[in-house]
């Protein structure tokens, strides 16, 4: 059986998108996304909240352009990507690991969910404008 590596998150950006140009000339964009859950403590009745921070990395030029144009610190976003762990060695020779949600070219989704005064409400990245899972028009399901 095949496996599935798919992450779906809805949360708020903790800082502005960070875009860098790589040595090969391509771009990479990093997002810091917060997701929170709230609950009532059964013992004390006190409201509790826990926030998880997610590293998000994008490599698709169109999605990066979308993020630069429409996303800002505090923006509420919807995204789909794959979980990936990187390993590297630091200057002291120690192995380090970083787990990220990666949106690769043609295999990620990003959408702005909050309304902004600049008219960017519910803007969708180019990946979401087409449905990659929709069958071709001549598809026969048997």
* Per-domain boundaries in the chain: 7-115
**pTM, two decimal places:** 0.76
Query: Locate tokens 């509790």: which residue?
Result: 48
Q: How far apart are CA 12 and CA 64, in angstroms?
A: 17
For residue range 64-109, what is the model confidence (pLDDT) as tens digits? 999 999 999 999 999 999 999 999 999 999 999 999 999 988 888 9
What is the assigned CATH class of domain 7-115?
Answer: mainly beta
Q: How far apart are CA 129 and CA 91, in angstroms?
A: 43
Task: Note whether 107 and 79 are within 8 A (CB).
Answer: no
Q: Please indicate whether residue 126 or residue 27 has the higher confidence score (pLDDT).
A: 27
Q: How far apart are CA 112 and CA 122, in angstroms?
A: 5
Cα radius of gyration (the chain): 18
8 Cβ contact partners less than 8 Å away, ≥ 6 residues apart: 78, 79, 80
Q: How far apart are CA 130 and CA 125, in angstroms?
A: 10
Q: Is the model's pLDDT at 122 over the cut of 70? A: no
pLDDT band at 142 (very low <50, low <70, confident <90, very high): very low
For residue range 57-72, what is the model confidence (pLDDT) as tens digits? 999 999 999 999 999 9
For residue range 27-67, what is the model confidence (pLDDT) as tens digits? 999 999 999 999 999 999 999 999 999 999 999 999 999 99
Say what the pLDDT of residue 141 is: 52
Say what the pLDDT of residue 130 is: 45
């Amino acid at each position: 059986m095949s496996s599935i590596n798919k992450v779906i998150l809805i949360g708020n950006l903790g800082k502005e998108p960070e875009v860098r140009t790589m040595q090969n000339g391509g771009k990479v964009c990093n997002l810091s996304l917060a997701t929170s859950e709230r609950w009532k403590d059964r013992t004390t009745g006190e409201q509790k909240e826990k926030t998880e921070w997610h590293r998000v990395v994008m490599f698709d030029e169109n999605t990066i352009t979308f993020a630069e144009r429409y996303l800002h610190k505090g923006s509420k976003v919807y995204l789909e990507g794959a979980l990936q762990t990187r390993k590297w060695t630091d200057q002291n020779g120690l192995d380090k690991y970083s787990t990220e949600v990666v949106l690769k070219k043609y295999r990620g989704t990003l959408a702005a969910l909050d309304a902004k005064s600049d008219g960017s409400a519910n803007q969708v990245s180019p990946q979401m404008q087409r449905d990659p899972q929709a069958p071709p028009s001549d598809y026969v399901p048997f």
